[in-house]
Amino acid sequence: MKIRILGSGAGGGFPQWNCNCNNCRRLRHNEMNGKARTQSSIAVSSDNNNWLLINASPDIRAQLEAFPAIQPKEGLRDTSIKAVLLMDSQIDHATGLLMLREGKPLDIYCSEMVKQDLTSGFPIFNMLSHYCTVNHHPIPVDGSSFTILALADLRFYTRALKSKAPPYSPHRHDPHEGDNIGVVIEQQSTGKKVFYSPGLGEIEEHVMSAMQTADCLLVDGTFWTEDEMIDQQVGKKQASQMGHLPQSGSGGMIEVLNKIPNARKILIHINNTNPILDEDSGQRKILDVADIEVAYDGMEIDL
Ligand code: MLT
Ligand code: MN
Ligand code: ZN
């Protein structure tokens, strides 16, 4: 299985257009050792030819242009994107669907809750019905599995987890199963598994069990601390209020990942305020010691 990190940043990307925080300012002025990042999306393939897009970021145009394997191969109009799987209905994960409107009907796999958001608070499925149209495929949120015809060697185990529905969702303050999901993707011919969850607020028992089955973990790397946005005076919300488990501290993501010694561990969906974006930072050293990697745009993982 091949996994291409199309975008490793959180909503806003890095640097964020209007942000002068310590990281954004220093990156823009070449004063830090770090990499710019586009917004959150990955692509997965078992044959290096047919791809599943997971999340569709507002930066999708640049992400696809930077990735020849997914570009048109034959005929006047073509794509190697056979389907799209959505983890939630957040702006950074769904807006890119609008940029795919010139193509054939989009086969979109998402939960009933995400479909509700994308036909109400953020009605892009309705909008796309005037362009390419959407074939919505409902997915399980109880950990049971499904396959996608055009990507037959891959099996997907999807399950609801605790994070947050977006502010425009009817469920923002009334959480429903399936507002956010995590996925284990198994390549059936090799048995290799990746766990992907860019928005993960709480490690429930079933999440830990799913993580323990995986060869590679691609998990929420949004914030280093619970009060990061508040401390840096760029926001009023704590990490937990946004549905993200911070990396540091008791019960944080580093502690969680330390309990899973055999998997390759990679943080993804990194917010521009996170000190780990500075590759010379003390926080980055802590990750190095714990054998935890930080995803970057264009990173490829072979499993
Ligand atoms: C989130 O995951 O919390 C989002 O990246 C926030 C946003 O897009 O504004
Ligand atoms: Mn996000
Ligand atoms: Zn910033």
Kindly state if the Cβ of 90 falls inside 6 Å of ligand 1: yes
Domain span at 43: 2-302
pTM of the full structure:
0.98
**Hey, whose CA ends up nearest to atom 3 of ligand 1?**
242
Tell the residue number behind the tokens 């303050």, with chain if given. Answer: 173
**Hey, whose CA ends up nearest to atom 9 of ligand 1?**
11
The number of domains in the chain is 1
CB atoms within 10 A of CB 3: 23
pLDDT, position 161: 96
Q: In angstroms, rounded to a whole number, what is the distance separating the alpha carbons of residues 88 and 98?
A: 16
Q: In angstroms, rounded to a whole number, what is the distance separating the alpha carbons of residues 21 and 229?
A: 10
Cβ partners under 8 Å of residue 250, min gap 6: none
Strand partners, 267: 219, 294
Burial class (CB in 10 A: 0-12, 13-18, 19+), 238: middle
The CATH code of the domain that includes 123 is 3.60.15.10
Q: Among all ligands shown, which has an atom nearest to the Cα of 232?
A: 3
pLDDT, position 179: 98
pLDDT, position 12: 98
pLDDT, position 107: 98
Kindly state if the Cβ of 180 falls inside 6 Å of ligand 1: no
pLDDT, position 65: 98
Kindly state if the Cβ of 8 falls inside 6 Å of ligand 1: no
E-strand stretches of 75-192: 81-85, 106-110, 134-138, 142-147, 154-160, 181-187
What is the per-residue pLDDT across 183-194, written as a single tens digit (0 to 9) for each? 999 999 999 999
pLDDT, position 206: 96
The distance from CA 187 to its chain's CA centroid, rounded to whole angstroms, is 19
Helix (H) or strand (E) holding 253: helix 253-258
| Preceding peptide of 123 cis, ω within 30° | no
Instruction: Extract the residue ranges of the chain whose pLDDT is less than 50.
Output: none
pLDDT, position 25: 98
